[in-house]
Amino acid sequence: MSWWGKIVGGGFGFLMGGPLGAVMGAAFGHQFDKGMKQDFDGLGYQAQERTQLAFFSAVFSVMGHVAKADGRVTPDEIEVARTMMQQMSLDEQQQKVAIELFNQGKQNDFDLDGVLHQFKQECRRHATLLQMFAEVLLHAAYADGLMHPKEKELLKHITLTLGFSSIKFKQLDDMVRAQRSFHQGSSGQGYQQAPTRDMLKDAYAMLNVSESSTDAEVKKSYRRLMNQHHPDKLVSKGMPEEMVKMATEKTQEIKAAYELIKKSRK
């Protein structure tokens, strides 16, 4: 049974303590707040399932908080959350919880740092899992076409809190912007067409290399990114199974960028 199935079928109360527990309790509803002991592992849950629950809860609540950073939540930002739910093939009940988590993050008393610190602990410091979390938030921030300075400041704070450096934040930001541009540039013409100059520039940025990089350096970066975003590996570390499609699309675009670079160098 999946992590969600165990939640719905378990009939137990407050899943875990701390800020994440508070967010979960509010989002899942009173039926999950029966005053039971905050002993998740004692209920027979595996660490992976606990991390999947933490990831699901943190990503939608923090996404709501980031969307509110510039003072208002735009329709595009709401649409990104709904698109993610569709990509994850969430059922009606899961969507309801995800929306409530998003709304929890928009509240003025949302404990962002508390949630982030606990989420980092629940992820057992798996850097690839934390990076995927940061990338999802960056994509959400660019939902309306640009990132507001307050959103950027907040996202930088989030990545620093998760243990990434300022340099790493810039790298992730550049990669996400390049991926979005690359995806838009390839829409309608397919990846097999001769790349435009802008698409090739985005492809290099996606792989975190430059035109002056050697073939060996490009290949090394490509392999590292494919390994970091491998769906099965991410799920084994605690990414919800429902996000496999998103991770798969990410690897497909990384591969497409690499193929374009190889083609341009022949």
222-235: pLDDT as tens digits: 999 999 999 998 98
- Tell me the C-alpha to C-alpha distance, in Å, between residue 13 and each of 10, 18, 31, 82, 234: 9, 14, 7, 27, 28
pLDDT, the chain, mean: 83
- Tell me: pLDDT of 66 over 80: yes
pLDDT number for residue 13: 38
Q: If you average pLDDT over residues 41-58, what whole number do you get?
A: 73
CB 27 within 8 A of CB 57: yes
Q: If you average pLDDT over residues 113-124, what whole number do you get?
A: 93
- The share of the chain scoring above pLDDT 70, in percent, equals 83
CB 111 within 8 A of CB 72: no
Beta-carbon neighbour count of residue 157 at 10 Å?
A: 14
pLDDT number for residue 38: 43
CB 6 within 8 A of CB 49: yes
Q: At what angle do helices 127-141 and 166-186 cross, to 10 degrees?
A: 60
CB 52 within 8 A of CB 240: yes
The reported pTM is 0.84
User: In this structure, what are the phi and psi dihedrals at residue 46, rounded to the nearest 5 degrees?
Assistant: -80, 155
Residues 136 and 63: their CA atoms lie apart, in Å, by 9
- H/E segment holding residue 141: helix 127-141
| Banded model confidence at residue 6, pLDDT cuts 50, 70, 90 | low
What is the residue type of 81? Answer: A
Q: What are the tokens at 261?
A: 């670079």
Residues 205 and 224: their CA atoms lie apart, in Å, by 14
